[in-house]
Homo-oligomer: A and B are copies of this chain.
Amino acid sequence: MHNNALLSESQFLTQAHELAKELGALLTTRHLMLTLAESCTGGMVAETITSVAGSSAWFDCGFVTYSNQSKINLLGVLSKTLQEHGAVSEETAKVMALGCLNRVTLNNHNSKPNHTHIAGSITGIAGPDGGTAEKPVGTVCFAWTDLELSAKNQIQIQAQTKIFSGNRQQVRQQATIYLLESLIKNLR
């Protein structure tokens, strides 16, 4: 279990907004644009980020790939990956992050010069249903571009799994904060 204390709705909003501002400042300094792929959080990370005025300078776009089919169609996740590892797996999270990165960079001939894209992804079981013995409710897998390891033309993706406690909304909120914190750590 992740040891974060459960937050009230207003505590979450304040903390998440402050993290998004901090992330934005770091992305701006490093001339990076962020793109996101979210499943169980359903757009909560993108919404938090865009609650910051001026976030269009460092946030490009997000994919809310809620169905498995949309993970396949929009992000290039393979049916085989979903079958072998499940939609909630580090393997799927990695392909989701890579997929959105590919989608935004392949066609971005007109995007701002000097801006590199980075990506973050979330796929998990927010509950109340969908849990199993192996992957209980609260299991969330994350992936993000590893800037330390990424060299030019070779993108490295890092992945992690957490098990959060609390109800559906609290699992989603903790996942949102965890991805924001991970992206910040990676940029410091």
Known: A10-B9, A44-B47. A60 touches B53 (CB 8 A): no
Known: A44-B47, A129-B53. A70 touches B169 (CB 8 A): no
The answer on a CB contact under 8 Å between A74 and B61 is yes
The answer on a CB contact under 8 Å between A64 and B67 is no
Interface band, chain A: 35 or more
Chain B residue numbers with a CB within 8 Å of A13 are: 9
Asked if A66 is at the interface (CB within 8 A of a chain B CB), the reply is yes
Q: How far is the CA of A145 from the CA of B57 in the complex (A)?
A: 31
Find residues 37-69 in chain A having any chain B CB closer than 8 Å to their own CB: 38, 40-47, 49-51, 53-56, 59-67, 69
Q: How far is the CA of A19 from the CA of B166 in the complex (A)?
A: 24
